Amino acid sequence: MSDAARIEDNVRETIIAKPDIVLDDQDLMRALVAANERAMGANIVDLRGIAMERLESRLDRLEETHRSVIAAAYENLAGTNQIHRAILRMLDPVDFETFLRDLGGDVADILRVDCVKLVLESREGGDIPAVRKLGEVLTVAEPGFIDDYVSEGRGTPVRAVTLRQCGMRDARIYGELSDWIRSEACLKLDFGAGRLPGLLVLGAEDPNQFTPQHGSDLLGFFAGVFERSMRRWLS
C-alpha cells in the first residue's frame, strides 16, 4: 500500500481496538459499501448492499415511529396532568357562587381556554333573577336549547363531547365574546333522572385548539367529574 493510501497508524489502531465505532456510524458504513461496490465493478449486483439499504430504510421508519409515539405519550401525560389540576381546583369551592367564579377564572386558566360557559336548561326560561347575580359564566335557557345548539339545528343525536371549529357563536352563551370564538368544546352534562341536561362550553380564540380530529377522552372524564360536582349544588 502506498504512503498516500495508507491509514494513519493511530486511526488504524483505534478501528482495530474499537470496530463498533465504524459499525455504528451510518455515514462511514455507507462510504465503505459504496467503495466496495466500485471495486466490484458495474456488472456485479451486491445483494448485501441492497439488503442493507432496505434495512436502513426500515430502521429510519421505525425510529420516526418511535419518536412519534414518545411525543404522543408526553403530550398525553401533560394533558392528563392539566385535567387533574383543573379538577382539583374545581373541587375547592364550598359555595356555588365561588364555584362559578373559579370556573371562569382559575379553571379556565389551567385548561388554557379563553372562556368557560355553563348552560342549564330550565322550564322557567332564562329570566330568573337569582341567575343574574351569579356572574357571566352561567346561562339559563329553555328546554331543548342544548341539543339544538350542539347539533346546530340538525336534530342529530348529540355526543357527550363535541369538538369543533366555528364562526360567530350564539350571543346567549358567549355574550360579547361571540365575535372572536373560533373553536369550542361542548360537554353535555347529565344531572340524573328527572333533571334537564346541562352544557359546559370551553371556547377558544385559536381555531385549532378544538377540532374533531383531537381526542376527547380526557374532556369526557372532566365532564363526568363536573356532572357529579354539579349534582350537589342542584340537590
Contact at 8 Å (CB) between 187 and 200?
yes
Instruction: Tell me how far apart the alpha carbons of residues 177 and 204 are, in angstroms, rounded to a whole number.
Output: 10
Q: Does residue 209 lie in a domain region?
A: yes
pLDDT tens, the chain, 235 aa long = 444 456 677 777 877 787 777 777 777 777 777 776 666 665 555 666 667 677 777 877 888 887 877 777 777 788 889 999 999 999 998 888 888 889 989 999 999 999 999 999 987 755 555 555 565 788 888 999 999 999 988 878 888 999 999 877 778 888 888 888 999 999 999 988 888 999 999 999 999 999 998 888 999 999 999 999 888 887 7
**DSSP line for 4-53:** TTPPPHHHHHHHHH-THHHHT-HHHHHHHHHHHHHHH-TT---HHHHHHH
Q: Does residue 172 lie in a domain region?
A: yes
State if pTM tops 0.75. no
Looking up cell 396532568 gives 81
CATH of residue 221: 3.30.450.40
Q: Does residue 48 lie in a domain region?
A: no
Q: Does residue 29 lie in a domain region?
A: no
Q: Does residue 180 lie in a domain region?
A: yes
Give pLDDT, residue 78: 82
Q: For residue 162, what are the domain limits?
A: 94-234
Q: Does residue 42 lie in a domain region?
A: no
Number of compact structural domains in the chain: 1
Q: Does residue 216 lie in a domain region?
A: yes
Write 168-176 long-range contacts (CB < 8 A, 24+): 169/203, 172/126, 172/139, 172/141, 173/117, 173/119, 173/139, 173/149, 173/201, 174/115, 174/117, 174/203, 175/136
Q: Does residue 193 lie in a domain region?
A: yes
Query: How far does CA 23 lie from the centroid of its chain?
Result: 40
Give pLDDT, residue 117: 93
